Structure 1
Amino acid sequence: MVMKFNGKPFKAGDFQKALHKATAKLVGDHLRERVSSVRDPETGGFATVIVDGEGLDDMSLRIEGTPAVLDQVRQDLGVETDVEDRELEQASAEVPPKVFLSFGWEDRDLAGRIADALQRHGISTWWSEWEIKAGESLRRKIDQGIGGCTHFIALLTPTSINRPWVQEEMDAGFVQKVGRGATFIGLRHGLEASRLPPLLAGSLSPEIDQDLTQIQQLINDIHGVSRKPELGPAPSLNSLPKTRYTAAAMAIAEHFVNQSRNGEFGDVTSDEERIAERTSLSREDVIDALHELRRWLKIGYGSVLVRETFYAEFDRYWKPWIPADDALRLAADLVNDADFPSAPEQIAQRYGWEPRRLNPAMAYLEERDTVKLSKALATNPYIGFEIRRTDATRRFVRSRA
């Protein structure tokens, strides 16, 4: 039986795909409508909205604008923002790790030397000999110490492991681990790992000797110092620009940028094997890098097709032009010049640009929904046959001026 819609045959899978795409577009338009009206109260600049993904399952929202605009979006709409090529650093005071040290009275001397070593290496340590003064409530002070710790350390020895007081403190430490994410460390001294309580059996429980020869590793672990060696440079990738993308992603991006003739969708088509050969990357690195770059690619059935927005993002690293700057010039001319042409070939002639340069600028503006770019079949070598200004074009120019 052949299913038909409006008199034309169609497959159920195609109908579902089209429905999902249409729904995603409605959601994207709704998000743009909500966010694009946010303005910088001082400069009057608007937020620029980019909706990535073709379906609801991979849709994401990126917002560009001044710090004031981004803060306003977060406050008003609860939307996460992304600032292109800028890192917004938020100064915060360094807070040292806080350790609560639980021990049995028989191990008081060893516990004291452990507490002293931790304290001298930037770890605020709660040890009963320092914290509890004459007349103070033992229970209240211990509860305060455990409640405020980032790391709970239980010094486990053949004697302390059976002490009810240590077990009670360990129970409280586990509550902090589950409820607040505190780190629970069972520090063994003269105790075999096989004698650990069941709750510690699946955790790394380091061992400490009488001379504290392993204390530095414990200090490093508490401070979050990685045990991994420093990452060395990738072979033959040292000359690539240093960006927010991995070296493997940049190697693939350089290959695509240099292979493209016009900066159109699909004018570079490849697969994982050929990409690995051209970039000298391993197959696994290629797979991970393509996943990193996926919002600018169409990947399926073993093939990789490059979207036009890819060049809007990556041309700046290897071409003598910057698509973002070209896009701003194009948008400003569309807004300010009443006689400015709408046909890409006339625009290219006026600027003295090849299609390879004009297409990324138009793609940059279209991705931000700041122009009306009309498309049709056989517009090669351009990605559209007409580009016109909208109100969003004026807002874009004003925000980037």
Structure 2
Amino acid sequence: MHPKVFVSHASEDKGRFVTGFATKLRENGVDAWLDKWEMLPGDSLVDKIFEEGLKEAQAVIIVLSNYSIKKPWVREELNASIVSKLSKGTKIIPIVLDDCEVPQSLTSTLWEPIPDLKNYEQNFKRVLSSIFGATDKPALGKAPAHTTSVYHEIGGLTKADNLVLKESCEYIIQNDDIMVSPESLFGDGDKLGFSRAEIKDCIEVLEQNGYLDVSRYFGSEDDYSCNYRVTTYGLDNFTRTYIPDYSETLDKAVSLIVNERSSSNFAIQEKTGKPIVIINHILDVLESNDHVKLSKTLDGAVHIYNVSASLRRALA
């Protein structure tokens, strides 16, 4: 449906601006109401303007000039349009042609000044956008990943630190690879929405707090210039924070070791169905607490060759 727009103006502005402007409106799908097009000899001036012009208008364009601001009739139309705006939300669009004083009733309305009556294409586009309720505002893009990523806070770390640790742990679990290349995992930082410099700071903070063991090499300032592994402490914080059934998996692994004499990481993995990285981590935690002794081979096998009495008692 074509929006109907009433054009309030002084007759002196018809030739120099109004007729051409209203014509352009109609050429662009706007049903511009102009008295010279709508009124014929014998028509009632009041009925035509107030019943057909203003009454059904979705917008009122008020052409303000040195001529119109002196016209009592234009001021009456202006008053009527203000009433219309208040009663049914008609949009008021003041167009200012000259360096004239804008009426008090329009001082709080955004004007569209047109200083050059022969070149006003950009002004015209803005008026069209206002009539149709369109905008050249850019569309909303996707929020940065770090603002929408679900994470559980690990105390003492910022959200950025938490997310870098989380991504690192998820990577080694999914890929069964204890070493992490930040260049491959994070690249320029688009995955999390952080800059490369911010991620480098996170890696340094996580290293200082014992979550990562970082191996550095020579490179440029634009490179991460390092690889790292997640420490037992770091992975333990991750598993207890992010893996809901980690405690059950730990208890199951201990039961398999003590009661069923499972003696390798692969045997425990087969019976629990959990990722090998998680099983290896559980064994590392048990060893760090002197509950078991382990031997590791190059093919990734971890063998349990001693189980402490304290672990057996803990299960009793």
TM-score normalised per structure 1: 0.37
* Higher RCO (Cα < 8 Å, 6 or more apart): 1
